[in-house]
Structure 1
Amino acid sequence: MMGAERRAAIDIGTVTARLLVADVVDGEVHEVVRRSRITHLGEGWSSTGVLSAEGMTRVADAVAGFVVEARELGAARIVAVATSASRDARNSDEFLERLEAAGIRPQIISGSREGYLTFLGATYGIRDERVMVVDVGGGSTEIVLGTTSVADGRRHASIEAVRSVDVGSRRITEMFLESDPPARDEVERASAWVADELRPFFSALRERPAEMVSVAGTATSLAAIELELDPYDPERVHGYRLSGSSLLDTLDHLARMTLAERRGVTGLEPDRAGVIVAGAIVLQSVLAYAGLSSTLVSEHDILYGMMLDPFDDGGAG
């Protein structure tokens, strides 16, 4: 591809580690390889305040493989970021050293920076529309409201409001959902807590968005469950519209299941079964606050944002 630069981006989240290798030319992203590994970096972190040795090892193994593959594919530059659990953990320096030994030292980015990059990626292909982008992570949820435009061959985001809220699927599961299946009062307490944490952001908005775009594992998993995908098909998930009513139905259905039963749900990765109820609680709450009847699900997320960004933050060549 003439004039293209091959880039690699690695996103290290609380639940998942992911890789995207792509050719970028004139502001367009052409995927070469996308990989995802559920590593549960944040397992136990919400109660201990530290990342476990086992979780750090799982991530380091995944990232080492990502770096080797990106280099073999000829990526001119590799950039890596780490998010919520890495921001909050007391032993994040130790984690960074382990990742550096695995081949790359990621930048631990702020919640607002994470939100900006997610918005830039999620709105790829959307122009001049007031959009709310939602990324339900394992430790936090990023909510960004803004518009996008294209100038001089580059995409730009005009951000009206951005907030990283400490409500995530792993954090909520460990705080509230102790029973198997979760008891009704546990789900109700979790939902009430999430609503309280989200309320200040939405109370401060002058008006609601025209569209809501949801990215990352919770949203894509819920779409795959509705579509009964086996195997997972990103082309069918991207652009799928989740209605508020169907989201509530799916949440109720999943919350009545044991963990073993959820592991067998078509469309749901077994390793995500332990946190999907909490993730669905967050997504449903955000949609209700946004005052919209549905959300668009996108495969374009922070990895796309990292591709479209000037690429000056962290990483290794």
Structure 2
Amino acid sequence: MIQSPRAVIDIGSNAIRLVVYGGPPRAPMPIYNEKARISLGDSVSKTGGISAEILEQALAALVRFKTLTEAMKVGELRVVATEATRRARNGGEFLLRAAKAGVPIDLISGEEEARASALGVVCDMPWATGYVADQGGGSLELAKIEAGEPRQMVSMPYGTIPLTNDGDCNAKSLARDIEEQLEDSADFRIERGLPLHLVGGAWRTLAQLHMHVTDYPLTILSNYTMPPDAAAGLSAIVSDRSAMEQSGVVSGARVPFMPAAFATMEALIRLFRPSEVIVSVYGLREGLLFDRLSGDARLEDPLLAAARHEGARLSRFAYHGDGIANWIAPIFEDDPAPLQRLRDTVCLLADSVWNSHPEYRAEHAAELALEGNWPGVTAADRAIMASALYAAYGGKKARPPLLSLLAPNEQLDRATLWGLAVRLAQRLDGGTGIGLEGVTLHKSANGISLEYTPELRHLDSTTVRRRLKHLNEAFSAPTSRSE
């Protein structure tokens, strides 16, 4: 059954954005993303209301976006407005005119915004713990994640626009102001030493700057982790407008707001003293989608859901990625749970790059793992999956050296074994899956062996035995294969 696209129009302080999502319900994949740079927040900050010109621009953008979603046959559309519309003295007029134009808007509270942002983090990483901070143009939302649920939601007027306009970019004083507001909240209690998850475009740009100054080898922001002292390494470039512009990662429209975003991040680090700072590319929009899922759907692993969807979409024959995962599992029983989910993901993607040229399939398979839009993974996870898929597609060279910069060689070597087992499975029955129930993979003191039922004995071949030999050799002497 084909899932209809879902979409969210987010009316923020700095822009109005439409994101259309495809993919399975548990792993929404952006398939269209458009932003209208309309600063409601700046107008509200200067005049207290949305100017006539900005209001007309906003309505035009909303009607355009609604038209696009209709053409894309979006099945579920959510339109939400946040801080700028909440504070605007003519926010009600804006909502009324949008409704008359056929685009009804849900004006959510600051607490609802904080909850949705925290659910966005949970949507991506179900096991996430600690605090979520979402800074937009108009406000700062905080929440604590406990057992997959947002708690202690609070919203404060510390967005990048008012902080920039007020010139209040001192981290120490900002930390004090935030702490005072939190103390006034009866429900919010700070527990230090937990992870701090950052949501918001300005903070994602700070993470890109951190990658830039540390020469990080992979420029994918999803779940990028910075140490608690990251601010020290960023202060020089954030205080130098020219350096930010020359970095190539900060847009001209974003540059003026970076000192405020940096000061807020530094203030929160001072206040929460986190164990680590994790940047999330998921946030309010994904949280709104996640909130509509059933309880059972929420329990799905988003990575496995995404890989199963893509594997089925790209495979040659009747899809059997789960069958491969079950077939090779007995020889990898000692894999811990975090590696097991990566191994299963590799199996689900085992037939995903068959249409690439044979000379480049291994490289493309590794790129699929490294660069794919996968939820619920770290950079190390991507490298481990890439090592496995590179071996599964018969990489003739040593595995890409980039992988060893992202994950321990011991885990990359283990992943290579997965890939060789997958490669054997694909050769056994031509990638059709017909041999996975009648041929058993065994592991004993004598090595890895195949046991055929009489009906499928004819699947044995010289090529199958050769791939079995390669797997046994790798098991007996696993060594790092990076250049």
CA–CA separation in structure 2 for the residues paired with 1:128 and 1:293: 16
Change (3 A) 1:90 1:235: same
**TM-score, scaled relative to structure 1:** 0.80
Deviation of 1:148 (Å): 4.6
Change (3 A) 1:34 1:223: same
Partner of 1:143: 142
Deviation of 1:240 (Å): 1.4
Question: SS where residue 131 of structure 2 aligns?
Answer: strand
CA–CA separation in structure 2 for the residues paired with 1:57 and 1:250: 39
Is the contact made by 1:145 and 1:209 (CA closer than 8 Å) also made in structure 2? no
CA–CA separation in structure 2 for the residues paired with 1:310 and 1:269: 34
Partner of 1:197: 177
1:265-280 alignment, distance < 5 Å: 265-280=247-262
One-letter amino acid matched to 1:167: Y
CA–CA separation in structure 1 for the residues paired with 2:211 and 2:120: 24
Deviation of 1:107 (Å): 1.2
Deviation of 1:243 (Å): 3.2
Partner of 1:30: 29
- Mind listing any 5+ residue stretches in structure 2 that lack a counterpart? 294-483
CA–CA separation in structure 2 for the residues paired with 1:287 and 1:265: 24
CA–CA separation in structure 1 for the residues paired with 2:48 and 2:151: 32
Deviation of 1:106 (Å): 1.3
Deviation of 1:252 (Å): 4.1
Q: What is the aligned-residue identity percentage?
A: 23
- Mind listing any 5+ residue stretches in structure 1 that lack a counterpart? 150-157, 177-185, 312-317
Deviation digits for residues 242-284 of structure 1 (CA, Å, limit 9, x no counterpart): 33433344244323437xx755541112111221211221122
Are 1:162 and 2:157 matched, yes or no? Answer: no
CA–CA separation in structure 2 for the residues paired with 1:57 and 1:274: 25
Deviation digits for residues 61-93 of structure 1 (CA, Å, limit 9, x no counterpart): 333332222221110121111111111110102
CA–CA separation in structure 2 for the residues paired with 1:130 and 1:108: 28
CA–CA separation in structure 2 for the residues paired with 1:208 and 1:254: 26
Are 1:214 and 2:194 matched, yes or no? Answer: no
**TM-score, scaled relative to structure 2:** 0.54
Partner of 2:289: 307
Question: SS where residue 21 of structure 1 aligns?
Answer: strand
1:89-128 alignment, distance < 5 Å: 89-100=88-99, 103-128=102-127
One-letter amino acid matched to 2:162: R
CA–CA separation in structure 1 for the residues paired with 2:135 and 2:58: 19
Deviation of 1:17 (Å): 1.9
CA–CA separation in structure 2 for the residues paired with 1:292 and 1:225: 20
Deviation of 1:102 (Å): 5.1
CA–CA separation in structure 1 for the residues paired with 2:115 and 2:220: 26
Is the contact made by 2:221 and 2:280 (CA closer than 8 Å) also made in structure 1? yes
Deviation of 1:196 (Å): 2.9
One-letter amino acid matched to 1:266: G
Question: SS where residue 41 of structure 2 aligns?
Answer: coil
CA–CA separation in structure 1 for the residues paired with 2:83 and 2:193: 25
Structure having the larger proportion of residues in strand: 1
Deviation of 1:206 (Å): 5.3
Root-mean-square deviation over aligned CA pairs: 2.7
Partner of 1:242: 226
One-letter amino acid matched to 2:90: N
Which structure is higher in RCO with an 8 Å CA cutoff and minimum separation 6? 1
Change (3 A) 1:202 1:44: same
- Pick which of 114-123 and 290-299 moved more: 290-299
Structure having the larger proportion of residues in helix: 2
Question: SS where residue 80 of structure 2 aligns?
Answer: strand
One-letter amino acid matched to 2:74: A
Deviation of 1:306 (Å): 1.5
Partner of 1:73: 72
Deviation digits for residues 211-263 of structure 1 (CA, Å, limit 9, x no counterpart): 2211121111112233349xxxx9711121233433344244323437xx755
Partner of 1:172: 163
One-letter amino acid matched to 1:301: G
CA–CA separation in structure 2 for the residues paired with 1:263 and 1:61: 31
One-letter amino acid matched to 1:125: D
Change (3 A) 1:50 1:236: same
One-letter amino acid matched to 1:197: D
Deviation of 1:98 (Å): 4.1
CA–CA separation in structure 2 for the residues paired with 1:264 and 1:43: 26
Deviating 4+ runs (over 4 angstroms): 201-204, 261-265
Change (3 A) 1:196 1:121: same
Partner of 1:183: none
Partner of 2:270: 288
- Pick which of 294-303 and 31-40 moved more: 31-40
Structure (1 or 2) with the larger CA radius of gyration: 2
CA–CA separation in structure 2 for the residues paired with 1:226 and 1:25: 32
One-letter amino acid matched to 2:270: A
CA–CA separation in structure 2 for the residues paired with 1:100 and 1:264: 43
Partner of 1:46: 45
Change (3 A) 1:295 1:93: same
Deviation of 1:103 (Å): 4.2
Deviation of 1:201 (Å): 5.8
Is the contact made by 1:38 and 1:271 (CA closer than 8 Å) also made in structure 2? no
Is the contact made by 2:208 and 2:249 (CA closer than 8 Å) also made in structure 1? yes
Is the contact made by 1:240 and 1:297 (CA closer than 8 Å) also made in structure 2? yes
- Pick which of 84-93 and 238-247 moved more: 238-247
CA–CA separation in structure 2 for the residues paired with 1:243 and 1:57: 44
Partner of 2:209: 225
CA–CA separation in structure 2 for the residues paired with 1:3 and 1:208: 45
